[in-house]
Structure 1
Amino acid sequence: MGWFINNVLYRTVVLGKENIPQAGPVVFAANHISFLDGPVLFAAASRPMHVLIKQEMFKGALGSFLHGIGQLPVNRSGDRKALQRAKSILDQGRSIGILPEGTRGDGAAASVSGGVAWLALNSDAIVVPVAILGTRHSGEGVNHVPRFGRRVVASFGEGLRVQRQPGESGRASMDRAAESIRAALANHVSTTAMRTGVPLPEVPLRELQNNILNSTTSRSAADHH
């Protein structure tokens, strides 16, 4: 289904496949602007993945289908059990996909959930930021179905690994890891939008430029904390 979406319904351009590790555990962390982001991410990667999807989607035939292809339901208000299942998959050297903004918005990664930081800290996984662009444009609602044939971009950025530092509390580690991941994702999304000319919905060019500067500074500060 993901292949059909990327290659028949839409013209999906996949960038940065060389940044995808071909072995070992990986967390693919993508921005979130549309209901199509998960399928686009799933189909664009060169490795199979188990995507954390809101539990409301796991109903009826669709729910059976999602379970059948190995996707993971998650309660967005907090779901330790789902994170433990995801960690078990990573411990087997496999891949997890997550949309850490938690809900559909402008996709600029102004904030991310603590779940992605917990997975990164409690596994040996590399976190690969993924920019999904074109699945929604300015003026379109979050449930809008984009016209067929639209250009969509899925861009895989340079991976990062976050680890606890000696003497650092659990909360401090989580906060630092979340900020490092958020900054890397925000920077990659903004850079990809500038590079490809496919904008984020409702985000002007000047704000993208500021995102790149602020995210680079923020990630550097978090990395050297």
Structure 2
Amino acid sequence: MNDGGGPSSKGAGPDGAPPARDRRGPGASVTAQDIYRWGPSWSRHVGWFLDHVWWSSTVVGAENVPQTGRVLVAPNHTGVIDGPVAHGALPRGSHFLVKEEFFTSRLGFLMRWSGQIPVDRRNGRPALEVARTLLEEERCVGVFPEGTRGRGDVTATRAGVAWLAVRTGSPVVPCAILGTRPPGAKRGYVPGPRSKLWVQLGEPIPVAKGGGRTQIAEVMAQVQTAMVSLVADAQERSGLRLPD
């Protein structure tokens, strides 16, 4: 569960979301009916096992994630395992936006069974609509605002998470993940057993439902500012650093 995230707002439609384009691949044709609602009930326990048995993860601020009701979780993104790590660190089941290539790989059946959402990064609107439906069902949805793996410093973000927050009135919980790709490691790096990882969840950012592009831009700026601050604090508290 990684390399997901909100699609870019470039070429956005009148409601601030990306327009529909040619449909191809599982991410371009996904509907809410395709998502297994029961998937996170088992897969979050697999994520917890990976976090705390296979790796050595410290989770800070889990109490900031509401136990019930709709909520968006917005992690930074540096490593290939960020999705499973975040999924296992959360105190409730979650549906993450995940790039569709993982759904066509040999592990694609696990992505489907775990209730994750395939996203075509050339056409993110179908995935956003699925996420919107799940939020309206009072579920937890995870979106990587940076869109793909990078330094994880949140200097560039995409509009998907803000669009979802404004359309559904969902609070946004910023999340900092460290250790999944240390300085000097390649983009495809996978930490070895008992590697030290750090997941820090910030206080929820309340978002009022409704509004257009201006509100979406304001919410995205607020989320980005909170994430930058959280990542900096997580580095100081953990001693871990972002990749080069």
Q: How far apart in 2 are the matches of 1:140 and 1:177?
A: 33
Q: 2:143 aligns with which of 90, 93, 98?
A: 98
Say which SS state the counterpart of residue 7 (structure 1) adopts.
Answer: helix
C-alpha distance after superposition, 1:157-215 (max 9, x if no partner): 111023368xx7x222221111111111111111111122111112xxxxxxxxxxxxx
> Residues 1-80 of structure 1 correspond to what in structure 2 (within 5 A)?
1-80=46-125
Is residue 176 of structure 1 aligned with residue 218 of structure 2? yes
Q: Which amino acid aligns with 1:199?
A: R
What amino acid is the match of 2:190? V
Letter in 2 for 1:172: T
Find out whether 1:118 has 2:160 as its counterpart: no
1:200 and 2:242 aligned:
yes
1:46-105, CA deviations, whole angstroms, 9 ceiling, x for partnerless residues?
Answer: 010001000111114411111111000011233111111101100011100111101111
Aligned to 1:88: 133
**What RMSD, in angstroms, separates the aligned Cα atoms of the two structures?**
1.4
CA contact (8 A) 1:38 1:51 kept: yes
1:3 Cα deviation from its structure 2 partner: 2.4
Which runs of 5 or more residues in structure 2 are unaligned?
1-45
Establish whether residue 109 from structure 1 lines up as the match of residue 163 from structure 2: no
Does structure 1 conserve the Cα–Cα contact (< 8 Å) formed by 2:135 and 2:141?
yes
Please give the residue correspondences for 1:204-215 in structure 2 after superposition, counting only pairs within 5 Å. Answer: none
In structure 1, runs of 5+ residues without a counterpart are: 203-225
Quick check: 1:34–1:135 contact (8 Å CA) kept in 2? yes
Contact 1:128 1:157 in 2 (8 A): yes
Equivalent position of 1:217 in the other structure: none
**Aligned match for 1:128, one of 173, 177, 192:** 173
Identify the residue that residue 188 of structure 1 maps to in structure 2: 230
Code of the residue aligned with 1:157 in structure 2: it is G
Which one has more relative contact order, counting CA pairs under 8 Å at least 6 apart? Answer: 2
CA shift, 1:106, in A, is 0.8
Name whichever structure is richer in helix by fraction: 1
Amino acid at match of 1:145: V
Q: How far is the alpha carbon of 1:147 from its aligned partner?
A: 2.5
Count of equivalent residues:
199
Contact 1:164 1:173 in 2 (8 A): no
Q: Which amino acid aligns with 1:132?
A: I
Q: TM-score, normalised by structure 1?
A: 0.84
Query: Aligned in 2, Cα 1:161/1:77: closer, same or farther, shift over 3 Å?
Result: farther
Q: Supply the AA of the counterpart residue of 1:173.
A: Q
The alignment's TM-score, normalised by the length of structure 2, stands at 0.78
